[in-house]
Structure 1
Amino acid sequence: MAWFDWPFILSSVFAQLSIGAFLILGSVIFSGKLCFGQTDRLHKTMPVLWMLLFASLALREINLVLSQTHSVYSFSIEAMIVTIFFVLALLYWFAEKALIGSDATRKVMLSVVLMSGLVYFGHGLMQRSEQWLVAAHFIATTLCGGTLFAHTALVRAEHKVEEVNRYLPLLGAVIAVICLLTGIPQLADLASRAETYNEISPFVAHVLSLGLLLAAVGVWLMPIITKSKPVLHVMTFALALIFISSYCAGVGY
C-alpha cells in the first residue's frame, strides 16, 4: 500500500489492535483474577475497542463506496470476521453490563468471542503467509500491540493483579523480538528492490516500523526496569508508538 491508502491501513490497524487487545482482556477476565469492581471498571474502558472496530469497518466500506472501484486490499472474508467478532463482543459486553444470565452463561459468551478472535487471527495469518515480513507485522500489531493496548486498559481500570504488570510486558517483548529477528533479514529484499527499481518507500516504511516497535516495547518495559508501577500516560505513549509502527508497516506492504 501507499501513503494515500490510509483508510485501508487504518482500518486494518484498528481491527488488529482491538481484537488483539480483547483476546488478552478476555483471557484475564476468564482467569477470574479480577474482582467484580476491577472487572466492572475494565468493562467501562471497552467502548474504546468498540469505537475502533466501528471505525475500522466504516473506513473500509466508505472508502470503497466513494472510490467506486474494486480494491485488492478489500478482504471481504476478513471484514466479515471482524463484523461477527464485533457483534459477538457487543452482545457479551451488554450482557456483562446488565448482568443478563448466569455467570456460566456469560463465560460461554466470552469464550465464543475469544474463539472468533482466534479465527480472525488465524485467517489473517493465512492471508499474509506468502510474505513473512507482512505476517510478522500482522503478528506484531495483533499480539504485541494488542497486548500493550490491553495492558493500558487494565492500568486505566486500576487493576490490582501484579502478575499482569510483570508478564504482559514480557510477553509483548518476546513477540516483538521474534518479529524483529525474523523481519530484519527480509529487509535485504526490500533494499535490493529499492536499489533496482528506485522504490525506497517500502524499505523506509518497514525500517521505521521495526524501529518504532522496538521503541514502544522499550517504553513499555520501563516500569519493570525501574521497578515501578506502570502509569497511564507512559502506557499511552508506548501505544502511540506501536500504532505509528503498525501504520508504517501497512505503508510498506
Structure 2
Amino acid sequence: MITTILAVMIQQLLSLLAPMLLGAQLVLTLILVKGDICPGQRGRIHKVLPVVALLWLAVASLKIEAIMLVFAILYFYSQVQTKKTRVQGPLWVIYLANGLAFAYVGIVISEQPSIVGSALKVIEIFLLGALFSHLLLTIAKTRLQAFHRILPVTGIVSAMLLSIVVLVKSAQIEPNLLAEHTNMLLSGFALMITAVLIWCWHILLSKTVHKIQLWVAFTTMLVSMSFIENFIVL
C-alpha cells in the first residue's frame, strides 16, 4: 500500500517536470544568447545544465522520447567551458533542445483530458519554469538583478491565472464531489500562496535573494501543484 502511494506521488512529481524544464530552458537560453553576462557568469550557468539534463532523464521514465533532450543538453555541455569563457558554444544544440522540449510538452498538453487540464500545463511552464530558472540562476550567482524581480512577478501573474483555472474547474464539478475535495484544494492554494510569498520575500524586504529561500519556495510549490493537479483531474 505504502509502495503504491509513493509510486503515485513520484509519478505526479515527474509529470510536473516537463513544463518546468521547458520554461527554465527558455530563460537560460535567453540569458546565454542575449544576456549581458561576464565570462565568469557564463561559465557558472553552463555548470547548472547537467541538472536540467538529469531531470529530463527522470522524465524519460514516463516517456522515453525525453531521452533525446538529455543527449542534446549533455552534448552542448560537453562543447562549452565551465570556467570563465566568452564562447557561446554550439547554440544550435540549445535551440534543438528547446524545440524538442516544445514538442514534448505540446504532446503532454494535447493528451490532457480537458481544456482546463491543458491550461494548467501551459501555466506550469511559466510558474514552475520561472521559479526553477530563478533557483538555477541564483546558484550560478548571476548578477542580472532584473531577473530577481521579473521572474517572481511572472510567478505572481501565473498564480493568478492558475486560480482562475481552478475556479473554472470548480464550477464544472458536482457539489458533493467538490465538498469531498475542498480540503485538498484549500491545501494546494495555501501552499501555493506560501511558496509565492517566500519566492518574493527578497522583494518585500528589499534584500538580496538567497538560494535557501528559493529552495524552500520551489519545494513548497511542487507540493502545492501536486494537490492542485489531483483536483484538476477529478
> How high is the TM-score relative to the length of structure 2?
0.83
The answer for the alignment partner of 2:42 in structure 1 is: 39
SS at structure 2 position matched to 1:145: helix
The answer for the alignment partner of 2:200 in structure 1 is: 221
CA offset digits 1:41-93 (Å, max 9, x no partner): 122223222222222323x3xxxxxxxxxxxxxxxxxx254222222222222
Cα deviation code 1:74-127 (max 9, x no counterpart): xxxxx254222222222222222489xx95761222222222222233333222
Is 2:70 aligned against 1:86?
A: yes
Unaligned runs of 5+ residues in structure 2 are none
Q: Higher relative contact order by CA 8 Å / sep ≥ 6: 1 or 2?
A: 1
- In 1, Cα distance between equivalents of 2:105 and 2:111: 10
Q: How far apart in 2 are the matches of 1:251 and 1:182?
A: 14
Letter in 1 for 2:124: T
- 1:191-206 matched pairs, under 5 angstroms: 192-194=175-177, 200-201=180-181, 203-206=182-185
Instruction: Please report how far the alpha carbon of residue 3 of structure 1 lies from its aligned counterpart in structure 2 after TM superposition.
Output: 5.1
Following the alignment from structure 1 to structure 2, what is the Cα–Cα distance between the partners of residues 216 and 169? 11
Alignment gaps of 5+ in structure 1: 61-78
Is the Cα contact below 8 Å between 1:136 and 1:183 reproduced in 2?
no
Alignment of 1:4-23 (within 5 A): 5-23=8-26
Count residues in correspondence.
226
SS in structure 1 of the partner of residue 90 of structure 2: helix
Residues of 2 paired with 1:3 and 1:32: CA distance?
Answer: 43
Q: Bigger CA drift: 155-164 or 123-132?
A: 123-132
In structure 2, give the amino acid aligned to 1:8. Q
Give the conservation status (yes or no) of the 8 Å contact 2:24–2:133: yes
Match of 2:126 among 143, 147, 152: 143
Of 208, 214, 219 in structure 2, the residue corresponding to residue 240 of structure 1 is 219
Q: Secondary structure at the match of 1:28?
A: helix
Report which stretch shifted further, 227-236 or 114-123: 114-123
Distance in 2 between residues matched to 1:26 and 1:193, nearest whole Å:
46
Q: Which runs of 4+ in 1 moved over 4 A?
A: 102-105
Look up the SS of the partner of 2:168 in the other structure: coil
Q: Sequence identity of aligned pairs in percent?
A: 19
| Alignment correspondent of 1:69 | none
Q: CA deviation at 1:129?
A: 6.8
> Which residue identity does 2:115 align to in structure 1?
Q
Q: How does 1:1-80 map to 2 (within 5 A)?
A: 5-58=8-61, 60=62, 79-80=63-64
Residue 143 of structure 2: which of 156, 160, 163 is its match?
Answer: 160
Q: Cα gap change, 1:193/1:87 in structure 2, threshold over 3 Å: closer, same or farther?
A: farther
1:165-193 residue CA offsets vs partner (Å, 9 max, x unmatched): 12111122112211212322322334625
- Which of 118, 123, 132 is the aligned partner of 2:102? 118
> 8 Å contact 2:44–2:82 — kept in the other structure?
no
Query: In the alignment, is the contact (CA less than 8 A) between 1:11 and 1:57 conserved in 2?
Result: no
